[in-house]
């Protein structure tokens, strides 16, 4: 019987890791024991997944990303090439903080995307379908659907579930690409109006 998931011969998956059906793990990647990865994910070249990490289904983790203990990725998360998660607020070589109790949870919610070379400082939550621009440094929570950029990252707009930036002239708008409708509640919150049939997303 064929394996339910696949890894390249150069990748390491330690005993005790749980890998979902249809997931692919590419060259030189390492998944530690205790990690849980959902179905139909793709881990690119040189990806590291630490013990006790939880990754949902249909996630895409591009080359050279380390997902450290304390990070939780929900379903459909995209991590761009060489983006960085941290997991300790006050690291010191002389005063090691390298136990599970030292790590702060960082949660990336369903559908969110993190661009190449972005840095996500531990302890934050990135909201559903949010979009972190390439090179941004996220130091505080990101609302659902927010488009953030800069150092430190700030809200510069809003993004549709399909990834296209939204243009608000009034309190409601329609995505020019897919037709999904949204309402802007205030400067920090946008609501999806569920006008399309349920597509499982």
pLDDT digits (tens, 9 = 90+) for 26-77: 999 999 999 999 999 999 999 999 999 999 999 999 999 999 999 999 999 9
- Residue 194 has what pLDDT? 76
Percent of the chain exceeding pLDDT 70 equals 96
Q: Two tokens at 16?
A: 């005790």
How would residue 1 be classed by pLDDT, with cut points 50, 70 and 90?
very low
Q: Are 49 and 84 in contact (CB under 8 A)?
A: no
Q: Does residue 129 surpass a pLDDT of 80?
A: yes
CA dihedral 12, 16, 19, 24 (to 10 degrees): 0
Average pLDDT of the residues in 110-125: 98
At residue 100, the 3 state secondary structure works out as: helix
Give the rounded distance of the alpha carbon of 82 from its chain centre: 13
Query: Which value, in Å, is the radius of gyration of the alpha carbons in the chain?
Result: 18
Taking Cα atoms as reference points, which of 46, 38, 39 lies closest to residue 11? 46
Residue 143 DSSP SS3: coil
């Amino acid at each position: 019987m064929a394996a339910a998931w696949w890894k390249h011969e150069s990748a390491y998956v330690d005993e005790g890791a749980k890998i979902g059906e249809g997931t692919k793990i590419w060259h030189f990647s390492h998944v530690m024991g205790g990690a849980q990865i959902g179905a139909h994910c793709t881990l690119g070249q040189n990806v590291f997944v630490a013990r006790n990490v939880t990754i949902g289904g249909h996630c895409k983790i591009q080359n050279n990303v380390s997902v450290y203990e304390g990070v939780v990725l929900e379903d459909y998360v995209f991590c761009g090439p060489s983006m960085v998660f941290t997991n300790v607020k006050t690291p010191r070589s002389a005063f090691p903080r390298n136990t599970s109790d030292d790590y702060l949870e960082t949660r990336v919610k369903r559908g969110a995307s993190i661009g190449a070379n972005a840095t996500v400082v531990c302890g934050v939550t990135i909201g559903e379908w949010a979009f972190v621009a390439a090179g941004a440094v996220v130091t505080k929570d990101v609302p659902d659907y927010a488009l953030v950029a800069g150092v430190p990252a700030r809200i510069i707009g809003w993004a549709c579930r399909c990834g296209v930036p939204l243009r608000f002239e009034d309190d409601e708008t329609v995505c020019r690409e897919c037709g999904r409708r949204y309402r802007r509640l205030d400067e920090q919150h946008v609501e999806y109006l569920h006008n399309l049939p349920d597509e499982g997303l």
